[in-house]
Structure 1
Amino acid sequence: MAYEHIALLMFTSMMVLLITGKRVFGAIGFVAVVAAFWLWGQGGSEMAFSAAMKLMKWYPLLTLPLFVYMGYMLSESGLAEDLYRMFHVWMGPLPGGLALGTLGLMVAISAMNGLSVAGMAIGASIALPELLRRGYDKLMVTGVVQAGSSLGILVPPSVVLVLYGMIARQPVSQLWLAGVFPGLLMAGLFALYVVLRCRFNPRLGPPMAAEERRTITRREKLASLRAGIAPLFIFFSMTGLFLLGFTSLVESAAVGAVAATLVALFKRRLSAAVLESTLRKSLGITCMFMWIILAALCFGAVFDGLGAVAAIENLFVESLHLSPWQILVLMQLSFIVMGMFLDDTAMLVIVAPLYIPLVGALGFDLVWYGVLYTITCQIAYLTPPFGYNLFLMRAMAPPGIDLADIYRSVLPFVLVMLLALALVMLFPQIALWLPQWYSASAGGDL
């Protein structure tokens, strides 16, 4: 059997196993191990061992449990509730103001935890019930929470960009900086959509009642701003010190985790129950990531040994005569399709051995492509029928919101995300200007 056919058989077998609902790491690892023994006999047993050792030697992987811990500490200790109260007081009087405040909350949470699931948990448990109680349209606000939470994987410190940087061997600092303007652009487009919808149909987002506005004094409004001090402290202590060169990537993650814990302690929110819940959830998420990466490394080693990357490049360029941009668009479409069934990490580690070398061979910037990949993951999160965020919302949504409502609520935001993706593809400097400027001001590459 030709190596190209073996590579196709491996990929097809893996996708079939994933569709059956098997564990992601089990499906990937099983196909990789069977193929390794089939191709190289007893020598194939070394591939899994080598992948495990490579994983253990990835020092930057220590950032993963630290970022996960930080996000859950913010959620479990109630610090996010204080932040939402601040947005409530200041944005509530505007038409659609609480929806805009929810987007602000999602951006702030994204800048402190780097995960989508933490933002979703906070938005669904804190913001969504309040918005529904105040008469906001359930479709619009459900979409706001889902789309806003997806910013967690793009706005630094993004865990997804850290994993992409490890696999693509790109500087994480460059990737984080590259995600800033696209993340803010997408948040701004979300906000613009909410403003326009509520302007033409005020019933979708009624402003805070006049009686309630009168009960909020100026002193109370100013005092609520103190809720923003903790996020700024955590963000600067982590990302700021890293970009200023005072800490390494792993050290910045450790500083952020310690800062989140100290803030919870200072506010007297750090109880034994909060700490236990945070550690338990952090351990579960971290172990899931580790198993997936381990299986993917083994799968990638077999693929690389087959020469599958060169075969696919030859298929696209020589046989089908596709241009580099056509190939890039096809890759992004494949991510959206896979996102109907897989989470972002699984998508990355499955296709990384194929796409990342191909992107480099086609002459595209790998930092820029990391941003495109992440935006496409955000779109895939919200794409029916099996988008990751859709089922998270179904599990967390209050009574009265069913799966059909959740599907309908995300469609306008998917279109907004597609617009953001097109803008970043057409104007790469949206993503590349900040890392290039910072690299030049720092006197060299980061």
Structure 2
Amino acid sequence: MSYEMLALILFASMMLMMMTGQRVFAAIGFVAVAAALPLWGVGGSNIAFSAAMKLMKWYPLLTLPLFIFMGYVLSESRIADDLYKMFHVWMGPLNGGLAIGTIGLMVLISAMNGLSVAGMAIGATIALPELLKRGYDKQMVTGVIQAGSSLGILVPPSVVLVLYAMIARQPVGQLWLAGVVPGLMMAGLFVLYIVIRCYFQPQLGPALPAEERDVSRREKLRLLSAGLLPLAIFGAMMVPFINGWTSLVESSAIGALTAFIAAVLKRRMTWHVFHTSVEKTLFVSCMFMWIILAALGFGAVFDGLGAVKAIEGFFVDQLGLGPWEILILMQLSYLIMGTFLDDTAMLVIVAPLYVPLVRALGFDLIWYGVLYTITCQIAYMTPPFGYNLFLMRAMAPKEVGLGDIYRSIVPFVLVMLVGLALITAFPEIALWLPNYVYGK
């Protein structure tokens, strides 16, 4: 049996295990270990052990629990609530202003947590009821929250980019910096769409009534200072890192400690908040470590079979495709897989194939990490099984039906495709900031 056929059987076995409903890391890790033993004998069992040692020695992985803890402290202590009150007061007088404020809220939540689930939970529980109560169109607001929360996997400290960095063996700091400008650009495109849409159809996002806008300047400034606290925490963490004063791990420790101190000073750090934050941090961190471990083992088996060379030969030699055509096909495959898999599952399934292929084709792996993440954002929101669609359905009130949720994402997916096309055509959008910082 050829190595190409063995690789195909290995990949098909993994997909079959995924369809049984097993956890992602269990399905992938089991196939890797089960394939290694008959292929290489007793020595094949060392693949999993080697992957575990590689994971434990990867120093930047320490950032993962620290950033997750920072995000949960800020969300569980309800400091994030102040953000929405600030946007409510300052953006309310505009048509679509609360929707624009919600996008701003999602950007800051993303900078606090690095997970799209956190933004979705806060947006659905804080912003969605307020927007519906103010007469906003239900399709627009559900689309706003889904699109805004997807920024959590692009804006640093993105946990997904940490996972990509481990599998692709790329610096986490460069990947996070590469996500800054694209993340802000994507948020800007969402805001531009809301402004234009509400200008021509003001009934979709009416401005706040005059009596609700009658807030004293002192109260506005108080809300501004309270709402900008998470931004100050983010600055205290990232400015030393960007200027080279601290390492990435040290900056993550600064962020976690600053968030904890802020919650204590605002008298919101109760025992319940601390216990819940630590428990959720442990759960999420362990989940991602198991996934990375399984992905490393699976990737080692794939590399050993020479599957990457076989696929590269198929695309380049047999089909005669150029590098850009192959890249576009890979991005389309992510969009298709995203209809039934989440971002971590997609990455660990195809990263052993795509990352070496991207390197062989001569593309920058930092830039490709941003492309992958944006494609995951789009896949999160595409029917029939988009991840964010079902999260929104679970959190939305009864008057928001599944049909409303599906229709709400159409314009935002188109906007995200425009953003993806811009970053594909102009790689410097993603690479300028990491090149500037690390080129000092």
Q: Report the TM-score, using the length of structure 2 for normalisation.
A: 0.97
**In structure 1, distance between residues paired with 2:435 and 2:296:** 30
What pairs up with 1:184-199 in 2 under 5 angstroms? Answer: 184-199=184-199
CA contact (8 A) 2:178 2:367 kept: yes
What SS does structure 2 have at the residue aligned with 1:86?
A: helix
In the alignment, what sits opposite 2:264? 265
The CA distance in 2 between the partners of 1:355 and 1:202, in whole Å, is 45
SS in structure 1 at match of 2:409: helix
Distance in structure 1 (CA, Å) of the matches to 2:2 and 2:117: 42
Structure-1 separation of matches of 2:436 and 2:47: 41
CA contact (8 A) 1:19 1:341 kept: no
Kindly indicate whether the alpha-carbon contact (under 8 Å) linking 1:157 and 1:239 is maintained by their aligned counterparts in 2.
no
- TM superposition shift of 1:166: 2.3
Deviation at 1:421, TM superposition (A): 0.3
1:165-314 equivalence runs, <5 A: 165-214=165-214, 216-314=215-313
Summarize the alignment of residues 148-167 of structure 1 with structure 2, pairs less than 5 Å apart: 148-167=148-167
| Unaligned ranges ≥5, structure 2 | none
Q: What letter is aligned with 1:35?
A: A
- Secondary structure, aligned partner of 1:4: helix
CA contact (8 A) 1:368 1:432 kept: yes
Superposed CA deviations along residues 279-323 of structure 1, whole A, max 9, x for unmatched, are 121111111111111111111111010011111111110111001
Q: Does residue 1:315 correspond to 2:314, yes or no?
A: yes
Residue 317 of structure 1 aligns with an amino acid whose one-letter code is V
**How far apart are residue 413 of structure 1 and its match?**
0.8
* Whole-Å separation in 1 of the counterparts to 2:32 and 2:350: 14
Amino acid at match of 1:88: H
**Displacement, 1:333?**
0.9
- CA deviations over 1:158-185 (Å, ceiling 9, x no partner): 2222222222222222222211111111
Residues 117-150 of structure 1: per-residue CA shift (max 9 Å, x gap): 1111111111111111111111110110110011
Greater mean deviation of Cα atoms: 193-202 or 140-149: 193-202
Q: Do the aligned partners of 1:131 and 1:141 also contact (CA within 8 Å) in 2? A: yes
Kindly state the Cα deviation for residue 398 of structure 1 after the two structures are TM-superposed.
Answer: 2.3
Paired positions, count: 440
Structure 2 contact 146–392 (Cα < 8 Å) conserved? yes
Which runs of structure 2 are paired with 1:72-111 in the superposition (5 Å)?
Answer: 72-111=72-111
What is residue 51 of structure 1 aligned with on the other side? 51
Give 1:233 deviation, angstroms: 2.2
Q: Contact conserved, 1:95 with 1:199, CA < 8 A, in 2?
A: yes
Q: Is contact 2:163-2:292 (8 Å) kept? A: no
Amino acid at match of 1:253: S
Aligned-pair Cα RMSD in Å: 1.3
Equivalents in 1 of 2:437, 2:246: separation in Å?
16
Give the Cα–Cα distance (whole angstroms) in 1 for the partners of residues 102 and 233 of structure 2. 20
Alpha-carbon contact 2:77-2:263 (below 8 Å) kept: yes
SS at match of 1:321: coil
Amino acid at match of 2:47: M
For residues 348-359 of structure 1, what are the structure 2 equivalents within 5 Å?
Answer: 348-359=347-358
Residue of structure 2 in register with 1:141 after alignment: 141
Query: Equivalents in 2 of 1:136, 1:52: separation in Å?
Result: 50
Structure-1 residue corresponding to 2:430: 431
Letter matched to residue 248 of structure 1:
S
Question: Quick check: 1:173–1:243 contact (8 Å CA) kept in 2?
Answer: no
- Structure 1: runs of 5+ lacking an equivalent: none
1:382–1:390 contact (8 Å) kept in structure 2: yes
- Can you list the C-alpha shifts for 1:179-234, whole angstroms capped at 9, x where unaligned? 111111110110111111111111110110112122x1122112211123412321
In the alignment, what sits opposite 1:124? 124
Give the AA of the match of 2:123: G
1:1-12 correspondence to structure 2 within 5 Å: 1-12=1-12
Aligned-residue identity in percent: 72
Distance 2:357 2:347 in 1: 14
Superposed displacement of residue 439, structure 1: 3.0
> Is 2:380 aligned against 1:387?
no
The alpha-carbon deviation at position 331 of structure 1 amounts to 0.7
Q: Which residue of 2 aligns with 1:23?
A: 23
Greater displacement, 271-280 / 320-329:
271-280
Distance 1:246 1:398 in 2: 47
Show CA shifts across 1:70-111 (max 9, x none).
Answer: 111111110110011001000001000000000011111112
- Alpha-carbon shift at residue 341 of structure 1 (Å): 2.0
Larger deviation, residues 284-293 vs 226-235: 226-235
Please tell me the residue identity of whatever aligns with 1:218. R
TM-score by length of 1: 0.96
Shift of 1:17: 2.1
Separation of aligned partners in 2, 1:151 and 1:167 = 21
Match of 1:330 in 2: 329
Q: Report how far residue 240 of structure 1 moved.
A: 1.5
- After superposing on structure 2, the runs of 4+ consecutive aligned residues of structure 1 that deviate more than 3 Å are none
What is the CA deviation profile of residues 217-257 of structure 1, one whole-angstrom value per residue up to 9, with x for unaligned ones? 12211221112341232111212211111221111111111
Deviation per residue, 1:354-394 (Å, 9 max, x gap): 11111111011111111101111111111111112122222
* CA distance in 2: counterparts of 1:211 and 1:330, whole angstroms: 54
SS at match of 2:433: helix
C-alpha contact (below 8 Å) 2:167/2:295 kept by paired residues? no
* Aligned-partner Cα distance in 2 for 1:24–1:173: 26
Counterpart residue type for residue 144 of structure 2: V
Question: How far apart, in 2, do the equivalents of 1:285 and 1:404 lie?
Answer: 31
* Distance in 2, Cα, partners of 1:224 & 1:63: 31
